Structure 1
Amino acid sequence: MTAALHEVSSPRAGIHWMLVTTFLFACQDSTSAILLATYPAMEVTWARYFVHLVVMTALISWRNPDLLRTRRPALQIFRSSLALGSTLFGMLGLQVMPLVDVSAVVWVTPVLVTALSVFLLGEKVSLGGWLSVLAGLTGVWVIINPTGIEFSPAMLFPFLSAWSGATYQIATRMLRLSDPPLTTLFYTAIVGVAVCSTSLPFTAVIPNARDAALMLFLGSLGVVSHFCMIRAFNAAPANVVAPFGYTALLWASLFSVIIFSAIPSTRTWTGEAMIVGAGLFIFWRERRK
């Protein structure tokens, strides 16, 4: 598994891995939405990260225990906190918004990464880049629909998930030269398990056999999806594979119809088009440099 992370650069392979990643993310969100109808968000989040931690601890202990050590523990814990924020805010969003709307807002992340890179990585963004950031955020505004009477501050949860996810990606970039990918994958779950465990005695609902299996499935999806993402970005440059992440919106729309019988609204399609267009422009601009 470790050796696989050092494969020869192959744009086609990277694209294939990203397509698998986005499908798994959509499956993960759909599974979460099913569980959230019965269980608290903290319990579902705990299950997702607990399975992740158990799997990675067993794998690394068997293959190479040295991978449990990190050269930058503070940054790993901070990144793990951001992962928890992204997951928990996303699940809270699923409780108040349709799956496809949440997925659309969360996938403004690449646009936010562009904006945050200026302040956290010292990168320069052109006027066109900033206009794309504005277009992406406007797309979020369209989907959330704050001008309607049904607006609730809770609808900001998926945007907070996207913000946490964008900062999470920045932190991941900072760690790429100090720790192996499997080490970072292991630390992803640390804070999630620690924080969510404190609430279980007060909020947990004992799951039945079917839902326990779904929780196990959710945690397994979390491990595999992040591993596939690592493979994608290892096989090809980010500006090649990242645009294909927007296929998650197609899967989310399909699952919304099949599983939840929810047909996306015109407002949602309009907002999605603005977000995707903003992200694709940013990556197109980067490839031309």
Structure 2
Amino acid sequence: MPGKTPDSSAGSHAAPMPDLMPEPSPPGVRSGVMLRLLSAGLFVVMSLFVRLATVEAPIGQIVFYRSAFALPPIVAYLMWRRQFPKALKTRQPIGHMKRNLYGGAAMVLSFISLAYLPLALATALGFLAPLLAVPAAMLFLRERPGAVAIGAALTGFAGVVLMLAPAFDGPRLDHDTIIGVAAGLAMAVATAAGRVEIKTLTATEAPGTIAFYFAVLCALGGLASWPFGWITPTGHALAYLVAAGISGGLAHITMTEAMARASVSTQAPFDYTAMLWALILDAVIFGLLPSPVSLAGAFVIAASALVIPLSARFTARSEALESAS
């Protein structure tokens, strides 16, 4: 059950067996999808603040603030669910370490990508993660996504390719674009691996527990970069750093709750809706207007996100008609 306390009967290396577990109910899947949509929007807001902070602050310091200031909303969430502090007890310390290894690497690589690329382009590269998450879920979680989920993920990826095309239109790539794209590609791989670990942990761990340990360990990792040079943030820089942490904490909670309610492969296409928010923020904040090709890609992305719920509704109606006949 989403948000449950850890199962004391689970071993320290317990892993879920999705093929032996009952499928989530339609209301559970719908709530998982809604939470995933909210999470996608919050992650874009977090990315905006991170990009603004990279103008002054080094990456390690941003990682610290992003993680440390994510803790207050996470702890408040656990208290609201009456899981604090008992939910902090875990029987899967190795699982948390693996999740934080992948997630921490993805965070650093994402921030590097945001430092060198426009928000929309950096976000688009992150959409490789849901495409990679579908085969990863099939291989490691024994999920069996249907043709609709696989087709929607591939269609969304085609939209990402359309959005990326204008960035590579020219006689040569500049140095910043090469660094940003390379970091974005590596981030997508690390993110996909992290999502598989999150789904594994949700079998026995509360979502807030997963989010709490991720924030704590990443904050410690960011703090370790202090000897290499931090700034003294004031004014806007301080506001960006704190806002990145709070929005990131809320995004992580909603993402983890979503993963406890619906399969990885079902959620994958809905990540693409974040692209629409990235396009809007790039235009409003940075004055970067998308090309017609990028807009076409955004339309394809949005369409792919609608395939799953429309297909589910059609299937439900067909089953209802068959049972009534």
TM-score bracket relative to the smaller structure? 0.7 to 0.9
1:167/1:278 CA distance change after superposition, 3 Å: farther
2:121 equivalent in structure 1: 101
1:39 equivalent in structure 2: 57
1:260 equivalent in structure 2: 286
Unaligned runs of 5+ in 1: none
Structure 1 residue matching 2:96: 3-state secondary structure: helix
RMSD (Å), alpha carbons: 3.8
Query: Matches of 1:126 and 1:13 in 2, distance apart?
Result: 20
1:68 equivalent in structure 2: 88
Residues 261-287 of structure 1, C-alpha deviations (whole Å, 9 max, x = no match): 111234544655666677777898999
- Which range moved further: 154-163 or 122-131? 122-131
2:275 equivalent in structure 1: 249
1:224 equivalent in structure 2: 250
Which of 167, 173, 186 is the aligned partner of 1:150? Answer: 173
Q: Which has the larger radius of gyration?
A: 2
Structure 2 residue matching 1:82: 3-state secondary structure: helix
How far apart are residue 149 of structure 1 and its match? 0.8
How far apart are residue 47 of structure 1 and its match? 0.6
Matched, 1:92 2:137: no
TM-score (ref. length: structure 2)? 0.72
Q: Which amino acid aligns with 1:27?
A: V
2:157 equivalent in structure 1: 136
Which of 47, 50, 55 is the aligned partner of 2:68? Answer: 50
Query: Matches of 1:240 and 1:121 in 2, distance apart?
Result: 13
How far apart are residue 209 of structure 1 and its match? 3.3
CA contact (8 A) 2:133 2:268 kept: no
Q: Which amino acid aligns with 1:136?
A: F
Residues 127-179 of structure 1, C-alpha deviations (whole Å, 9 max, x = no match): 99499659838828746639851254412212222221111111111111121
Matched, 1:162 2:188: yes
How far apart are residue 50 of structure 1 and its match? 1.3
CA contact (8 A) 1:93 1:157 kept: yes
How far apart are residue 35 of structure 1 and its match? 0.7
Structure 1 residue matching 2:27: 3-state secondary structure: coil
Query: Matches of 1:277 and 1:55 in 2, distance apart?
Result: 33
1:171/1:208 CA distance change after superposition, 3 Å: same
Which of 30, 34, 40 is the aligned partner of 2:48? Answer: 30
TM-score (ref. length: structure 1)? 0.80
1:285/1:83 CA distance change after superposition, 3 Å: farther
Work out the percentage of aligned pairs sharing the same amino acid: 21
Structure 2 residue matching 1:9: 3-state secondary structure: helix
